[in-house]
Amino acid sequence: RLLLDAGYPVAIVPEDLLGERLSTARLAILSECEGLLKETEEALRHFVQDGGVLLITGQLPTSAADSFAWIGVTRERDPWQDHIYLPAWDSDGERTPVLVHGRFHCMQTAADVEILLPAIQPYDCSFGMRFGHGTGPASLYPSDVPALVRRRVGQGSVCYLEAPIGSAYERDGDGWQADWFRGLLER
């Protein structure tokens, strides 16, 4: 739904058919996928190495013991925030950050992973802190915690967005999230 509302056609492909569909794709998205077969992970790695782009959102999937180690990202076990803000794409400062509800974890990245966007934490907030309306206002400044990262792998790249924007959009239906996601896909 998020992709459609962002203005992009989408094909949802079951895991057992993914390998054959990747040959015609330029972008594959894994949204809050908990786990995949080792064969699927290998097909995705080859897809990226051959020039494709893989976007993973919300959490890192697991397959075998290495758990997508080639992505170059690990995340802390305990959540850092239960909602965060993503910086707006515009450079003129007219837009406000985009709120995304859901568990957000800090991540560690390999040296060759590029940080594309930092997370903006709720002002003076920590995980589990409750507000009267359930959402803390955005801090004035971005944090030093990455929200969106990219790693070049072969001829392609893999991007990881820690924020669970798919389920947040499904729950909240926030048009700003669809607009922000459209900006991500354009980039």
pLDDT digits (tens, 9 = 90+) for 6-58: 998 888 888 888 888 898 999 999 999 988 888 889 999 999 999 999 999 99
Nearest CA to 86 among 157, 159, 28, 164? Answer: 164
**Global model pTM greater than 0.85:** yes
Contacts of 80 (CB under 8 A, 6+ apart): 104, 105, 106, 121, 127, 145
**pLDDT higher at 66 or 181:** 181
Q: What is the overall mean pLDDT for the chain?
A: 88
Distances 77 to 22, 74, 108, 129 between C-alpha atoms, Å: 31, 9, 11, 18
- For residue 43 the two structure tokens come to 């097909």
Report how far apart the first and last C-alpha atoms of the chain are (Å, whole number).
20
CA–CA separation, 187 and 1 (whole Å): 20
Lowest mean pLDDT among 2-6, 18-22, 87-91, 124-128: 124-128
CA–CA separation, 10 and 112 (whole Å): 30
Assess contact for 115 and 146: CB atoms under 8 A: yes
Assess contact for 142 and 120: CB atoms under 8 A: yes
Residue 117 has pLDDT above 70, yes or no: yes
Residue 12: the pLDDT is 87
CA–CA separation, 121 and 123 (whole Å): 6
Residue 110 has pLDDT above 90, yes or no: yes
Nearest CA to 105 among 149, 54, 157? Answer: 149
Would you give the DSSP letter of residue 71?
Answer: G
Residue 67: the pLDDT is 66
Residue 126 has pLDDT above 90, yes or no: no
pLDDT digits (tens, 9 = 90+) for 148-185: 999 999 999 999 999 999 999 999 888 999 999 999 99
Distances 91 to 6, 96, 175 between C-alpha atoms, Å: 20, 11, 20
